Amino acid sequence: MSEYLFELFVLTVRLYAVMDPMGAIPIFISLTSKKSTEERMKMLKLATGVVVTIVSILSISGSTILEVLGITPPSIKIGGGILLMVLAIDEMRGILRSRMPLEEELAVVPLAIPLLVGPGTIAMILMLTSIMPWYIVLVAALIASLLSFLTLLSSELLLRVLGKSATAALSKFMTIILAAFASEMIFSALVDWGVI
């Protein structure tokens, strides 16, 4: 039982790091700065609903998707690892290549997709479902979604308490964790293939 709980904890932390709600805080605040508290909450609830729907579908049918497409777990690991590394490097350099906000449906695009559920999150869930029971991945993804919701819900308070520079520093730390996990995925794939 404690083994499953530890596994669940590790997966939740990994998925939370990939979703990177701390990095989404400045964008969320800028998107909602002229909105009322009620409108902000409505937007956040809609975004969370979209995130939960996507991660649930991926967690439940991720391994089936891989089988149908004929993709092996090491391929997902190396592809996802490279993708996560690129995203981490972009984040560190401050490049927002997929984060330009649109005027309409801001809760869905860019808040839910691609800020919280971007290519990195999708690749991570597909990779995890290929090597772990889907229900553990699903629970971890749902907990990470809830934690992301709570993080964004408290965004104004976090900015006030931590200040902009501390929030940015925390986001950079999460980016380093993301890059480290990307390296681990690539290394694991190379081991699976017998290269190392």
* Closest to 92 measured CA to CA, from 18, 185, 178, 184: 178
Report yes or no: 154 and 29 within 8 Å, Cβ to Cβ: no
**Res 123 pLDDT > 80:** yes
Asked whether the predicted pLDDT for residue 181 surpasses 90, the reply is no
If pLDDT is split at 50, 70 and 90, which confidence band does 100 have? very low
DSSP states of 41-56: HHHHHHHHHHHHHHHH
- Yes or no: say if 188 and 77 are a contact pair by the CB < 8 Å rule: yes
Q: Which residues contact 51 (CB under 8 A, 6 or more apart)?
A: 19, 112, 116, 117, 145, 148, 149
The mean pLDDT of the chain is 83
Q: For residue 45, which of 148, 123, 186 has the smallest C-alpha distance?
A: 148
Give me the pLDDT at residue 95, please. Answer: 65
Tokens of 5: 């709980």
Cα distance between residue 85 and residue 132, in whole Å: 22
Which tokens belong to 75? 């391929």
Q: Tally Cβ neighbours within 10 Å of residue 25.
A: 23
Residue range 23-34: mean pLDDT, rounded: 76
CB 51 within 8 A of CB 117: yes
User: Which tens digit of pLDDT belongs to each residue from 35-74?
Assistant: 788 888 989 999 999 999 999 999 999 878 878 888 887 8
Nearest partner of 171 among 155, 194, 184, 185, judged by Cα: 155
Asked if pLDDT for residue 91 goes beyond 90, the answer is: no
